[in-house]
Chain A
Amino acid sequence: MQRKISPVAKQAVEHYIAQSTLLNERCDNSSLIASRQQAQTLLAKQAFPTQRDEDWQYTRLTGFIQNQFEQKPATPLTSEQVRQYMPSFPVTMVVFIDGWFSEMLSDDLENLPRGVVFESFKDALNISGDSNKLFAKESDITKEPFGVLNSLLLADGFYLQLAANAHMDLPLFVLHIQTSDNHLSNVRNFVELGENAELAIVERYVSLETRAKATSCTNVVTQIDMAKHARCKQVVMQEQSDNGFYFNNQFIYQEDSSSYSSFYGSLGCQLSRHQNHIFMNGEHIESQQNSACLGKDKQVVDSRTDTQHNDVWGNSQQLHKYVLTDSAVGVFNGMIRVDQKAQKTDGQMDNKNLLLSEIAKMDTKPQLEIYADDVKCSHGSASGQIDENQIFYLQARGIRRADAIKMITHAFLLEPAELITNDQIRHWVTDRLTVALAGIQQ
């Protein structure tokens, strides 16, 4: 059946395919050209999803489609301008401006500890003899509409490889700064963790302060391949302009006894959608996915997880919390799929939502698909307003009603961050969340 495509959506499709064609004309890497071409075919065929697509029912792309974003060159920034977005604790700093890797603003990435290799994605394509491996998972990635867009316009990102037993001395802090209106930052990252390697990575997405009202778009795809016993602890803070758009698809491939933990904090953008796709392809694998999402004004805050238990003794834990005020819309969709082979799976998924206004809305869909018979799985979701009994209990001890509401909301939203084991990173995250909460409660 031919899909119905509106003229505006058709224009958007043509616009992005034209940009992709331009990129290919200036490119001499055959794998990259092929990947973009394949994405062009896919986008031409399926266009962008509409509300008729079940996965996009609550997340309307009208606003995104109306803006035909351009992939412009990076605005030059000084290290002074960048410094304010850095954390106060020691990190290894990686800076992207408008989706382009900035060697000048990043720390020295040539002399990393033994077994650690960092390259921009552009460079990785050229030096790595086997650039095919960078495209090995295209079929998974392009199942997602914004994965298609990412392949279509793939031009930069980073490649990080940790050899067996390698680890970095400091957390890797990847800062993405959006600087200009109507711009599309299209980022593709590839992380490869060898056996028993360990990585702590923090990603922060911001808009340059002077462009606080900019309408720009960030579209990220990150692939993380984890060998046996590898460990990855990831934090993603999305704090872009309230007018912006943010799409992030993460594909995590885990082997035996590896452990992946991720925290996502969603604060900015008019429309944001963060998706984890986890493939637990070995025995005794652990994964943790928590998120704290704050929605205000007319923001649409979408966070999704797809956790595939494909082997025995897997353990996955999830806690997703939303605080919504004004006419914000929260969307959660979580799937735990347990393969027939994946006996002894323990999968827990919890989604809790606090609605601070009468018109804020939460659409949530936790799902379990279980094909094995000896598993322990649960999912739950609860949405509601603050319990008046809690407010009264604090008031009855002399705490003002407004302060009581703040205290309860704050505790509610910060709980998912407890999974962050590094104290400095956790404090940095809770500070970000606290500042954002104070903003909605003035």
Chain B
Amino acid sequence: MLLKVENLQAEIDDKQILKGLNLEVKPGEVHAIMGPNGAGKSTLANVLSGRDDYEVTAGSVTFDGEDLLELDADDRARKGVFLAFQYPVEIPGVSNKLFMQTALNAVREERGLPALDMFDFDEFAKAKIELLDMRADLLERSVNVGFSGGEKKRNDIFQMALLEPKLCILDETDSGLDIDALRVVANGVNALRSEDRSFIVVTHYQRLLDYIKPDHVHVLYDGKIVKSGGFELVHELEEHGYDDIIQQHNKD
């Protein structure tokens, strides 16, 4: 088991968002988390990646045999947790090159690998830039500054490709993307799929999932997973919306 979430409860500003969430992810699996606005999807992504704003009040998260909740965000990243942001952040003056070379060498240090120098890094990065159809001057530019919404999301996927994490959490990466950008992001994700890399794809829509075809689909509502199934659940939701599931859940 790569990730085991048990009875996870979390709050922000004294408001409880996650109310006892359970989730198990095996290596190589792709899980989709769907649900209506306000269900707690982004909270789950942020709690797993270690954002301080959220307070975990109960439950546990085990990642690769370790207590994930004990670790700071940077240690989680070093151990192989990657969050693709709903809103990737602009950092003026910090080049993508400095940012990613520093990040990659931090992750490599954790894995007991030697640091990459400028030349080795450039070579390594170039292949990934082509894979994700990024602009050629990406590395020289400031992180996300002057990027369109689609470029920012692609830049996150590019970072994911560089850092080669074990668990990739995509927090509504598809929001605000046109169909071409969506395809590039999906292709990037598909290219990175492997036996020992897992994904949690948080999304409101089925569009991205049509390209990615997750192994497991979960419906998150009111801080809990209320229904799980296979890829067919995506199309069930597309036809009937969340109402049936929500009504069923509220009845129980």
Contacts from A to B (Cβ < 8 Å): 387-390, 392-401, 403-404, 407-408, 410-412, 414-415
Contacts and interface: CB of A to CB of B under 8 A. Distances in A.
Interface stretch (B24-32, B100-108, B117-125): B100-108
Contact of A399 (B52, B82, B88, B102): B102
Contacts of B142: 411
Contact of A394 (B52, B82, B99, B163): B99
A398 B74 contact: yes
Contact of B93 (A393, A400, A411): A411
A401 B74 contact: yes
B88 A398 contact: no
A393 B74 contact: no
Secondary structure at the A interface, as helix, strand, loop or mixed, is helix
A404 B74 CA distance: 10
A395 B91 contact: no
Given A407-B98, A407-B102, A395 B73 contact: yes
Contacts of A394: 91, 99, 103
B94 A408 contact: yes
A388 B166 CA distance: 26
Contacts of A388: 52
Pairs of residues from A and B, 4 with the lowest C-beta to C-beta distance, nearest first: A411-B93, A398-B77, A397-B103, A398-B106
B147 interface: no
A2 to B, nearest CB: 51
Contacts of B72: 395, 401
A286 B52 CA distance: 47
B93 A398 contact: no
B94 A395 contact: no
Interface of B: 49-52, 72-74, 77-78, 82-83, 85, 88-89, 91-94, 98-100, 102-103, 106-107, 110, 142-143, 159, 163
Given A397-B159, A398-B78, A400-B74, 6 more contacts: A392-B51, A393-B89, A394-B103, A395-B77, A397-B106, A398-B106
* Residue among B49, B102, B110 facing the most chain A CB atoms (10 A cut-off): B102
A400 to B, nearest CB: 5
14 contacts: A388-B52, A392-B51, A393-B91, A394-B99, A396-B50, A397-B77, A397-B100, A397-B103, A398-B106, A399-B102, A400-B74, A407-B94, A408-B91, A412-B92
A389 B87 CA distance: 10
Given A401-B74, A403-B102, A407-B102, A396 B49 contact: yes
Contacts of B78: 398
A392 B142 CA distance: 17
Contacts of A401: 72, 74
A400 B82 CA distance: 15
A387 B92 CA distance: 12
A396 B77 contact: yes
B234 to A, nearest CB: 28
A276 B92 CA distance: 27
Nearest to A407: B94
A397 B99 contact: yes
Contacts of A387: 89
A386 to B, nearest CB: 10
Contacts of B159: 397
A265 B161 CA distance: 39
Nearest to B103: A397
A352 to B, nearest CB: 10
A411 B91 contact: yes
Contact of A412 (B73, B93, B102): B93
A393 B74 CA distance: 10
Contact of B103 (A389, A392, A399, A414): A399
Nearest to B78: A398
Contact of A415 (B82, B92, B107): B92
A400 B76 CA distance: 11
Contacts of B89: 387, 389-390, 392-393
* Residue among A389, A397, A401, A410 facing the most chain B CB atoms (10 A cut-off): A397
Contacts of B110: 398
Nearest to B53: A388
A403 to B, nearest CB: 7
B110 to A, nearest CB: 7
Contacts of B99: 394, 397, 399, 407
A392 B94 contact: no
A410 B91 CA distance: 11
A398 B107 contact: yes
Given A398-B103, A407-B94, A393 B88 contact: yes
B93 A397 contact: no
Contacts of B88: 393
A412 B72 CA distance: 25
B94 A399 contact: no
Nearest to B105: A398
B92 A411 contact: yes
B109 to A, nearest CB: 9
Contacts of B106: 397-400
Contacts of A393: 85, 88-89, 91, 143
A390 B91 contact: yes
B210 to A, nearest CB: 28
Contacts of A395: 50, 72-74, 77
Contacts of A397: 77, 99-100, 103, 106, 159, 163
A408 B88 CA distance: 16
A404 B143 CA distance: 13
* Residue among A394, A398, A408 facing the most chain B CB atoms (10 A cut-off): A398
